[in-house]
Amino acid sequence: GDFALRNRASRKNSMSTQEDILAKICKQREADVEQAKANISFETLQSQVASAPSVKAFDAALLPGDSGLIDGFQTGVSVIAEIKRASPSKGPIASGQVDPVKQALAYAAGGAAAISVLTEPTWFKGSLEDMRSVRQALNSCPDSERPCVLRKDFIVDEYQIYEARVWGADTVLLIVATLDFGRLTCFIDVARSLGMEPLVEVASEDEALLALKAD
C-alpha cells in the first residue's frame, strides 16, 4: 500500500543521501592525501615503517581463548570499542570534550579486543595524533592484553595505509562501498604486506561477495 511505498521511497532516499555523503568525504580525503604527500613524500613515509611500533595480529585478537570455545565453536564476544569526536549526523560528541587516552585506557581495562580511532578530520574531527596518543597509552598494557588499534577512516590511497602503520595502528578499515574491486584488492595486499590484517566493512550481500573475492 501507500505506507509500504513511502517506506521504500524513504529507504531509497536515505541510501542516496548516504552515498552522496560518502562520495563527498572520499573526495575530500583524496585532497587531504595529496596535501599530506606534499608535506611528507610517499618514499619518505615508506622509509619510516622500519622504525614504526610493532604490530599485534588483529584477526587473532578477535578470537577467544580456549575457554571461549565449545566443541570448536566461538561462544564469546569480542568488542571493538570506538573513539570518535564527532559525526556528520550528530555533530560534536560529548560537547567535543573527548579524551582519547582516558577513553582508550578505560576500554582496555574493560577488556576491549580492539580500539577503533577515527582519524578523518573534517566530518569526524579525528586525527593521526589521536591514534598515536592512544597507541602510546596502550603500550603500558602487557602485549598479550593490549587491545589492537584500528585506524578508522576513509582509505582512498595506499599512502594512508602506510600512515596507519607508521603512526601505530595494528589494522585499518577498508569500506567496500567506497572502493572499486581493483583498489580493494590492492589495499588488502598492501595492509598485509605491512603486517596488518585489515577489517573489511560490508553493508550488503553483494559487498560481502566482492570482499570475499578480493581476499
What are the pLDDT digits (tens) for 23-35?
999 999 999 999 9
Count of other CB atoms within 10 angstroms of residue 54: 9
Q: Which residue has the higher pLDDT, 12 or 106?
A: 106
Read off the pLDDT band of 2 (50, 70, 90).
Answer: low
Residues with Cβ < 8 Å from 50, sequence gap 6 or more?
none
Q: Which residues contact 46 (CB under 8 A, 6 or more apart)?
A: 162
CB 170 within 8 A of CB 193: no
Residue 63 neighbours by CB distance under 10 Å: 13
Please, which pLDDT band fits residue 5 given cuts at 50, 70 and 90? Answer: very low
- 44-100, pLDDT tens digit by residue? 999 999 999 999 999 999 986 544 455 656 557 899 999 999 999 889 998 778 999
pLDDT tens readout for residues 151-183 = 999 999 999 999 999 999 999 999 999 999 999
* Cβ atoms 172, 155 nearer than 8 A: yes
What pTM was estimated for this model as a whole? 0.88
- In the structure, what pLDDT confidence band is assigned to residue 106 with cuts at 50, 70 and 90? very high
Q: Give burial (CB, 10 Å; 0-12/13-18/19+) of 137.
A: middle
pLDDT for position 10: 45
